[in-house]
Amino acid sequence: MTNPSIAFVASDTAQAKVARAALQSQYKHVSPSKADVVVAIGGDGFMLETLHRFMKRGVPIFGLNQGSVGFLMNEASDGDLIDRVAAAESVTLHPLQMTVKTGSGKTRRAIAVNEVSLLRETYQAAKIRITVDKVVRLDELVCDGILISTPAGSSAYNLSAHGPILPISAEVLALTPISAFRPRRWRGAILPRGAQVRFDILEVEKRPVSAVADHTEVRNVISVDVREDVETGLQLLFDPEHDLEERILNEQFAT
């Protein structure tokens, strides 16, 4: 990408705001609605917000880490930013589409870049039936919850729930239980990216469950359908020496 027009957006932290002001004084910039590239300054949480914010535009996002983890971000180094953006490698992510039916009969839809998670709402464990491509794979999972993760999100909540880290090019999804009680030995599954997954909540009155797509929560759900949104592509830009594939590989050998 040669001489792209750049917009700077930053999280609410003082550190990120100071970094944005410094970059805006150093580089010519435009409003986000006119930019060829958006530079997101903050941490992974802010990157997630930025991807949702500009999802319909499809504009590439180049992250600069001013947060704590920065798995989806580039280092905030002193190198020439224009040259870095021009030389950056692009990774295309496809989010998940969540369709929820609630106890009140309503249907809600939301998009998840990281994961869709189902979580118990009370002290009692949830009971969930899992269907993949119209075949019931698990009649009853007794658990605190379950999640289905994209490769980009596999190092977030999915990893904390002891799910596998997925290479970004693997074209698979991670289905991971959260504190499974029965069947006790079930540790989840790796599904092809085209899989259509359905969760039916059992004993909905006694054991209510909420569904969360990134930061969108729907409570008292009856069923949740999840599939990859192949029509939506999100572009992340990475410095060649710090691409997402390498970060995912490194994370699998972290001690």
Residues annotated as part of the active site: 44
How many CB atoms within 10 Å of residue 172? 20
Q: How far apart are CA 191 and CA 175, in angstroms?
A: 7
Q: Which of 110, 86, 107 is nearest to 96 (CA)?
A: 110
Residue 226 β-bridge partners? 98, 197
Contact between residue 66 and residue 40 where contact means Cβ atoms under 8 Å apart? no
Start-end of H helices in 75-209? 81-87, 157-160
State the Cα angle at 236 between 59 and 31, rounded to 5°: 35
Q: How far apart are CA 155 and CA 161, in angstroms?
A: 10
- Pairing of β 37-42 and β 6-10: parallel
DSSP string, 183-236: STT---EEEETT--EEEEEESTTTS-EEEEETTEEE-SEEEEEEEE-TT--EEE
Contact between residue 218 and residue 102 where contact means Cβ atoms under 8 Å apart? yes
φ/ψ (deg, to 5) at 240:
-55, -35
Contact between residue 89 and residue 33 where contact means Cβ atoms under 8 Å apart? no
Contact between residue 169 and residue 244 where contact means Cβ atoms under 8 Å apart? no
